[in-house]
């Protein structure tokens, strides 16, 4: 998934987890050539799966970088 790869590229590790910056959903959609609704749904789905947490306006926490990396490589 493009969003997962995007988050991994921009993430900074902080101890046992990583923090990735978030932009406006519309801007992220333009960067990845998808609709902003798709970004919102993808964030919600990854959150439900436990791949990301603590989503705020500016950042998202990645509790397990390896799990998110495996998810992004599956192409989902």
User: Cβ distance 19 to 60 under 8 Å?
Assistant: yes
pLDDT (tens digit per residue) in 18-71: 999 999 988 998 999 999 899 999 999 999 999 999 999 899 999 999 999 999
pLDDT (tens digit per residue) in 1-28: 889 999 999 999 887 799 999 999 889 9
Please report, for the domain that includes residue 51, its CATH number: 1.10.10.10
Of 21, 3, 2, give the one whose Cα is nearest residue 11: 21
Split into its structural domains, the chain has a count of: 1
> What residue numbers bound the domain in which 60 lies?
2-73
Output the pTM of the full model: 0.86
């Amino acid at each position: 998934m493009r969003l997962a790869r995007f988050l991994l590229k921009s993430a900074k590790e902080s101890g046992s987890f990583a923090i990735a910056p978030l932009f406006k959903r519309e801007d992220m959609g333009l960067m990845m050539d998808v609709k902003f609704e798709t970004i919102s749904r993808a964030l919600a789905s990854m959150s439900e799966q436990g791949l990301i947490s603590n989503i705020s306006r500016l950042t998202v926490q990645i509790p397990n970088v390896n799990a998110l990396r495996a998810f992004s490589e599956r192409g989902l």
